[in-house]
Amino acid sequence: MADSQDVWGIDIGQAGLKAVQLRYAEAADQVLAMGHAYIKYGDPDSPKILSQPDAVPEELIPQAIETFIENNDVDGARVAISLPGPTSLARFINLPPGESNKGAEIVKYEAKQQIPFDLDDVIWDFQKISGSVDEDSGYMLNAEVGLFAMKREQVFETLQPFLDAGLEVDLVQIAPLALYNFVCYDQMGVRVDEEPADDDEYTIVLDMGTDNTTLLITNGAKIWIRNVPLGGNHFTRALTKEMKLTFAKAEHLKCHATKSEDPRAVFQALRPVFNEYVSEIQRSIGYFSSVNRDAKIVRVLGCGNGFKLAGLQKFLQQSLQYDVERAETLQAVIGEKVLNSNEFQDNVLTFSVPLGLALQSLDVTRVHTTLLPSEIKTARLIRKKKPWAVLAASLALSVMAVDMVPRGCVARSIQNEAVVKAAKDSDKAYGEITGKQGEYDTLVGTFDEEQIRQQTLLGGSDRRELIPEILKAINECLPHEVGNQKDIQNLLRRNRVHVSYVVHKRHGDLKTGWFDKILQSVDGRAYMDETDKGAPPSGSGYVFTLIGEHFHKGQEPGDQLQFYVQNTLLTNLRQPKMKALGVTHPTITSFKSDVVDYDPTGRVKMSATSGGAGAATFGGFGAPAAAKRRPPPKTSSLKRSTRRHSRSNLSGNRLPQCTASGSPTPGPQGFRGQPGAAPGGPGSQPRGPGAAPGSPQPGRRGPPGAPGGPRGGSSGGPLSPRGASPGEPAGAELQNAGPEIELTSKTEPQPPASRT
């Protein structure tokens, strides 16, 4: 049932404090607007924005709250405030079928997987969005749940100015959900006692703020939320850059673009930001449509004062091919005195979030979650019950006193030595029991402390299998030779990618620490899947970097160079089983080509006078260190293949890339030392992976797996041809190419079994 008490919805924005006072008229079943406030920060003649360099939010926000309390009656009214959308977390997940009475336990388990922080460090709440319960089995079916969370310190940081001002807050809600409340109740006509129709017609809501835009797609039943990092300030900065204006003058020109001396020049300066804004919206629509195949976008609804920018509505309509409207008229809230005031009319688009907060406080919306800290709720409940508790205790003491007087008289009349002795024995036994209980409690406390200490020492042990699991999965995604392919000796036809090494790095925020930087690079953006571009990773996680190479060169262009890596390794990394493990957003970040000598037959001859048994010369394919090198046979034809170095940067760590090694080639860039000389000797180039430092040592074995080493065998290490015999120099040139790829993995990837 709706609440008839007055409520205030307050939104602390970047440009000012916005508040709306509502009341529910039960007799008319109508929501009334009783008051409003729009308080800019600092001097009203030259207001400040919290994101400006000279602005001090710790001073401006308390001043605005103090002004609000002085100019408005808040006594006895409930207060709801918003939390900024960019720093909040909203996840919508489908629960597996389960007993309805265990829904909270299932949601808590899912919360541990979805929230990238310890649950003790966040304040979170959930709500069932859709689903039903089977009457026969009592199981939940097709249940979708919304998880909403924010770091505990950020919630208290937002609450503190209100607490310092003595204003009690009853509801704390993230701004995107408050926007959803407003759109559903006022613009779509959805009521709390009605189940919204789950149809395929969706509305896009754009709430453009100062520094970002909240993009919300809903049909009244389902919700999809994304934060777009573009707002009104980006248009202002474009004017300051293109037209060489101060920030204040550019802001004034932006708000009065149609009245400027040269409106065309103003719009030309703003066009790049317009295009970027539309591109972000189209990317979001593309991703939403890919996961909701039957969804149909029917209109775009604009909110926020940033949406008043001249030309924006028309530009969006032409670019998106949807009807674009402004939420300038309230459909379900009345109150002419407030709604027709000049200040409210001038800023009606920016009151969407305060209206949504107040509507939820009146209990007329579907959403009922709150991120108000539990300790504040408990303290407030105790304070309310304290007067009644004191009165009840006083009454109980009075009754006991009246009852004990006659009992004392009777006790004195019948008291004797036996009764006194029995009472003393009872007190003694009770004292012993109490002492034992105290010792037990002390031991329990010591045990708990020791358990906490051990868990601290073993911190991260639950994630120790993360790295091996990821490496095993990456190895399974590499192209492999099967069947008769294993007998192929020609390097150009071998179906393999050699990974030289893998590095990983943990990021507290994958989006800002890695994803945004990757999208700024040409290669990272070009080879990332379009779906991944529209859904950046969130929270903490690992970034894995793969550095490697390949020599494969197929007949088709897509079977060569970096395209071979893209069509094999990257395609495998995008499979659902990898996403179930937590691996996402694979891409090639960089690549290059090197040219090395090779024998197309994969055979290498050895000199009869060779003395080295293991250490290969400068990157040779298994040739011994002391072997004399001969020029390639004249009959051998030189062939070229391209090798691309691709880095898989899961970690963002840029380690020096391994230099591709191969047989030395004569000429300006070839090996200049004496035949058979080891790298590091006179006139030699820097040594490759197969070379030994210093002078040649006949008979010395190289490290296991190195070219020419005892465990590398005749294969000559990862760069040498299969089945090569030691000693014979390569007879042709080869361009070897190696992939360099990046992908991300969440800190706690969910094992596939739990996804089944």
Residue 180 has pLDDT above 70, yes or no: yes
The secondary element (H helix, E strand) that includes residue 326 is strand 323-326
Q: Does one domain contain both 147 and 221?
A: no
Does some domain include residue 668? yes
DSSP 616: B
Q: Give residue 466's pLDDT.
A: 76
pLDDT, one tens digit per residue, over 77-132 is 999 999 999 999 999 998 888 887 888 888 999 999 999 999 999 999 999 888 77
Predicted confidence band at 407 (pLDDT cuts at 50, 70, 90)?
Answer: low
Q: Give residue 3's pLDDT.
A: 65
Average pLDDT of the segment spanning 496-510: 88
Residue 411 has pLDDT above 60, yes or no: no
Residue 748 has pLDDT above 70, yes or no: no
b/e for 536-575, b at 16 or more Cβ within 10 A?
bbbbbbbbbbbbbbbbbbeeeeeebbbbbbbebbbebbbe
Residue 160 has pLDDT above 70, yes or no: yes
Domain ends where: 444, 459, 474? 459
> How far apart are alpha carbons 632 and 465 in whole angstroms?
49
Residue 724 has pLDDT above 80, yes or no: no
Q: Give residue 540's pLDDT.
A: 87
Handedness of CA 493, 495, 501, 504 (dihedral sign): positive
Residue of 248, 245, 296, 239 whose CA lies nearest to 272: 239
Least confident residue range of 280-294, 479-493, 562-576, 721-735 = 721-735
Average pLDDT of the segment spanning 674-688: 38
Residue 5 has pLDDT above 60, yes or no: yes
Q: Determine contact, residues 649/518, Cβ cutoff 8 Å.
A: yes
Domain ends where: 372, 406, 431? 372
Q: Give residue 337's pLDDT.
A: 92
Average pLDDT of the segment spanning 264-292: 93
CATH (domain of 261): 3.30.420.40
Q: Does one domain contain both 219 and 141?
A: no
Mean pLDDT computed over every residue of the chain? 77
Average pLDDT of the segment spanning 162-184: 95
> How far apart are alpha carbons 517 and 301 in whole angstroms?
31
pLDDT, one tens digit per residue, over 197-250 is 778 899 999 999 999 999 999 998 899 999 999 999 999 999 999 999 888 888
Does some domain include residue 753? no
Predicted confidence band at 404 (pLDDT cuts at 50, 70, 90)?
Answer: low
Residue 281 has pLDDT above 80, yes or no: yes
Q: Does one domain contain both 436 and 559?
A: no
pLDDT, one tens digit per residue, over 547-598 is 998 888 888 888 888 888 888 998 999 888 888 888 999 999 888 887 776 6
Average pLDDT of the segment spanning 635-646: 41
Predicted confidence band at 6 (pLDDT cuts at 50, 70, 90)?
Answer: very high
| Cα 445 off chain centre by | 38
> How far apart are alpha carbons 492 and 600 in whole angstroms?
8
Q: Determine contact, residues 619/691, Cβ cutoff 8 Å.
A: yes
E-strand ranges in 487-645 read 498-507, 541-549, 583-588, 593-598
Residue 639 has pLDDT above 50, yes or no: no
SS3 of 376, please? helix
Handedness of CA 337, 341, 345, 350 (dihedral sign): negative
Q: Does one domain contain both 406 and 423?
A: no
Q: Give residue 129's pLDDT.
A: 87
pLDDT, one tens digit per residue, over 12-61 is 999 999 999 999 998 888 999 999 999 999 887 888 888 888 889 999 99
DSSP 187: I
Does some domain include residue 255? yes
Predicted confidence band at 163 (pLDDT cuts at 50, 70, 90)?
Answer: very high
Q: Does one domain contain both 173 and 218?
A: no
Q: Does one domain contain both 525 and 638?
A: yes
Q: Give residue 212's pLDDT.
A: 93
Q: Give residue 599's pLDDT.
A: 64
Q: Does one domain contain both 618 and 724?
A: yes
> How far apart are alpha carbons 80 and 172 in whole angstroms?
6
Q: Give residue 634's pLDDT.
A: 45
Which has the higher per-residue pLDDT, 104 or 417?
Answer: 104
Q: Give residue 80's pLDDT.
A: 97
Q: ∠ CA(139), CA(143), CA(147), 5° rounding? A: 130
Q: Determine contact, residues 551/595, Cβ cutoff 8 Å.
A: no
Does some domain include residue 702? yes
Q: Give residue 137's pLDDT.
A: 74
> How far apart are alpha carbons 552 and 548 in whole angstroms?
13
pLDDT, one tens digit per residue, over 443-464 is 888 888 888 877 766 655 556 6
Residue 734 has pLDDT above 60, yes or no: no
Does some domain include residue 380? no
Does some domain include residue 118? yes
> How far apart are alpha carbons 513 and 534 in whole angstroms?
17
Highest mean pLDDT out of 317-331, 437-451, 486-500? 317-331
Q: Give residue 458's pLDDT.
A: 65
Rounded to two decimals, the pTM is: 0.54
Q: Does one domain contain both 493 and 450?
A: no
Residue 678 has pLDDT above 50, yes or no: no
Q: Give residue 666's pLDDT.
A: 36
Range of the domain at 269: 196-330
Q: Give residue 252's pLDDT.
A: 86
Q: Give residue 410's pLDDT.
A: 55
Give the total number of structural domains in the chain. Answer: 5
> How far apart are alpha carbons 91 and 105 in whole angstroms?
17
Q: With 0-12 CB in 10 A as exposed, 13-18 as middle and 19+ as buried, what is 13?
A: buried
Q: Does one domain contain both 411 and 433?
A: no
Predicted confidence band at 196 (pLDDT cuts at 50, 70, 90)?
Answer: confident
Q: Does one domain contain both 133 and 269?
A: no
Q: Does one domain contain both 208 and 321?
A: yes
Residue 538 has pLDDT above 60, yes or no: yes
Predicted confidence band at 416 (pLDDT cuts at 50, 70, 90)?
Answer: low
Q: Does one domain contain both 137 and 209?
A: no
CATH (domain of 50): 3.30.420.380
Does some domain include residue 56? yes
Which has the higher per-residue pLDDT, 540 or 399?
Answer: 540
Average pLDDT of the segment spanning 285-302: 93
Predicted confidence band at 527 (pLDDT cuts at 50, 70, 90)?
Answer: confident
Does some domain include residue 342? no
Q: Give residue 696's pLDDT.
A: 39
